A and B are shown apart, each in its own frame.
Chain A
Amino acid sequence: MDDPLAVLRASLAALDEETAVRVTHELIDGGRPPREILQEGLAASMLEIGRRWNAGDMYLPEVVAAAEIFKRCNDLVEPALLASGEEILGHRVVTATVKGDLHDLGKNMVGAMLKTAGFEVIDLGKDVSAEAIVGSVRDLHPTLLGLSSLLTTTVPEQRAVIRALEDAGLRGSVRVMVGGAPVTQEWAEEIGADGFAPDAPEAVQLALRLVGDDRPQAAP
């Protein structure tokens, strides 16, 4: 396995953070185009991890760990990518657990799974205010926004975020996905969200539909 991109892909799939980070450094220092590192190395490996998850060969803890390593490597590639002036073609998703809610397990699962489908995921964390979410949509121009809440008392905050996006004139710029245990399709429709998914795998399918990518996924 001499191709460093193949080594990068394999190390990510093997959850070998040390090698993945070292090879990413070497590729950047060696002048490999950053877009190539990202798309043919990191993103390709995440897609393969997604395929293996679908086939039942990989488990959620591995997907989440891979997503963490992906983020570390991506953080290294990003400055080089910006300096090169190259465009990333993938879709960007911003995710957040809404204000007043500290439950982020489900949102983190969705974020990891989205990365396996080639999405760029920017996670704002938990207990995130509507203002902060609107600011991120304004600054980061995501294609998709994922809002999570676990508590019946915080679910109304999803509506508040959508209203804040409308007030800021940004609602048309982003597709909004909502999720969390008490959330339903009816609620999503009532608050004017673009979609609801009951779990992480469904969230990936929804995200692909919302960005118009209907490529068939292996059946879970």
Chain B
Amino acid sequence: MSGGWVNDLPRLDLLDDEQVRSIHDHAMTLLEDVGVRISYRPAVEAMRGAGLAVDGDLVRFDGDFVARRVAMAPSEFRVRGRDPARSVTFGGRNVLIAPTGGAPFVLDTGGVRRPAMMSDYLDFTRAIHASTLMHLSVSGVVEPSDLPVESRHLDMDRAVIRYSDKPYVANGVSASTTRDVIDLAAIAFGGREALAAEPAMIGIVNPVSPLQYDERMAGSLFEYARAGVPVVLMPFVFAGGTAPLGVAAAAAQMTAEVLAGVAAIQVVRPGSPCVFGSSVCELDLHGGQPVYGTAGHALAMLVSGQLARHYGLPFRGGGAFTASRVPDVRAMRESLMSLWPALLSGANFLLHGGGWLEGSLEASPDKLVQDLAALRELERILAARIDLDEEAFALDAFREAGPGGTFLGTAHTLRHFRNVVAEMSPGPSSWEGLLDRYEDPGIDPDVEAELSAFVDRRTRELATSAV
């Protein structure tokens, strides 16, 4: 049971083995010759202790070291939900979908772009929980601007635990915030040891391309790794801006960045689960804005998926990406031109699978509804088994209607149309309809009280230290 979709489509492998090896070799050259800047002392010391060459905060990884460490990461792993029936498996042919994350703005249903609030966050959390197409919740689906920046990770993670019983993407963005969100999860999931034995959430760590892990992200990586929480290593590169132009260089750079993170995690805790992430998008080279759903974006995703399989790691690709600021024709074109390559790339995890606008700056309820409608059709394609029995060929209907006839009233149509209608059911067609489907999963009152006590105490401490 994957808890998500199973993608039996053929993988679109664009490269032969020699070409994959070439990208790997160039990535290793970057890791050995250029190195990766890691601006978090405990992580750097751990790398030095493992025998790597360290110069200040510059770590040089050698190829054999990376290969040995990457082989320690599992090719599949499970993340449990608070409701065990909602548990999911990353890797293999499984596809898991999560909504947009990190948007500081909301394009509300009235068409107004405004800073996101905690009320928006709670609405999105409920909507995501209500949708059967979203397999994980995201803490930080939007950034609630009405909460203090130093402690909002606590409110967001608590809410996602409280209002959804799906597995979730946690919101650790530095060493201390990551310790906090792990402590919160430990309260809800039976302690840190139980959490390490069977994780309930997954973390996202973004290298700051090119070839850097800043203090926050390296600190977050270090803490997630210590706790055995799975991590998506997720470079976000702009070809021509934060990576050279072209698929080859971007793929080699991204591979170097991901594998440095995977190797670092395996140093801290061998066997800790990792996901090979990729997002290579192109820049509008006149105005400088990122663009999505382009051929370059798709090709890089396909190549990344093939690389992830080469390393035996689950792959994060795709998402309903767009640079459009409104859920218009362009938004859906770009989103579908991102979702399809993701499926063909064999992506196991589609983060930002719904509600994404303006290159992640906006979250939109209307866009989420449209993305869910698109995802529903993709789900039907993946689930489809084309019947080829005699009933499916409907010869009786041809005889009944005859040349030039109509099939609407034939016995065959009458036998089957209700099934087709049920399959084509479009799901909620509005944000309100989606929210109406929400059913509170409830939570043990003792756990809820303990979560709140922790959030209150840490919020006070962080407010004091922020002054």
Task: Using CB atoms and an 8 Å cutoff, list the residues of chain A in contact with chain B.
Answer: 53, 56, 59-61, 100, 102-103, 105-106, 109, 127, 152-153, 155-156, 181-182, 184, 186, 199-201, 220
Contact = CB atoms under 8 A, between A and B. Distances in A.
Contacts of B208: 102-103
A220 B287 CA distance: 9
B288 A60 contact: yes
For the complex of A and B, the 10 pairs showing the least CB-CB separation, nearest first, are A182-B104, A102-B208, A59-B285, A105-B241, A109-B288, A102-B214, A152-B143, A60-B288, A59-B286, A60-B285
Contacts of A181: 104, 359, 361
A111 to B, nearest CB: 12
**Majority SS of interface residues in chain B?**
loop
Given A105-B241, A182-B104, A199 B115 contact: no
Contacts of A199: 287-289
B289 A156 contact: no
Report the contact-size class of chain B (Cβ under 8 Å from the partner): 20 to 34
Contacts of B238: 105
Interface of B: 39, 102, 104-105, 115, 143, 149, 173-174, 208, 212, 214-216, 238, 240-242, 283, 285-289, 359, 361
Given A60-B283, A60-B288, A103-B208, 13 more contacts: A100-B214, A100-B215, A102-B214, A105-B238, A153-B173, A153-B174, A181-B104, A182-B361, A184-B115, A199-B287, A199-B289, A200-B287, A220-B287
A105 B241 CA distance: 7
Contacts of B149: 152-153, 155-156
A60 B286 contact: yes
Nearest to B360: A181
A201 B149 CA distance: 30
A200 B288 contact: yes
Contacts of B283: 60
| Most chain B Cβ neighbours within 10 Å, of A109, A152, A156, A181 | A152
24 contacts: A53-B286, A56-B286, A59-B286, A60-B283, A60-B285, A60-B286, A60-B287, A61-B240, A61-B285, A102-B212, A102-B214, A105-B238, A109-B288, A127-B214, A152-B143, A155-B149, A156-B149, A181-B104, A181-B359, A184-B115, A186-B115, A199-B287, A199-B288, A200-B287
Contacts of B361: 181-182
A26 B378 CA distance: 66
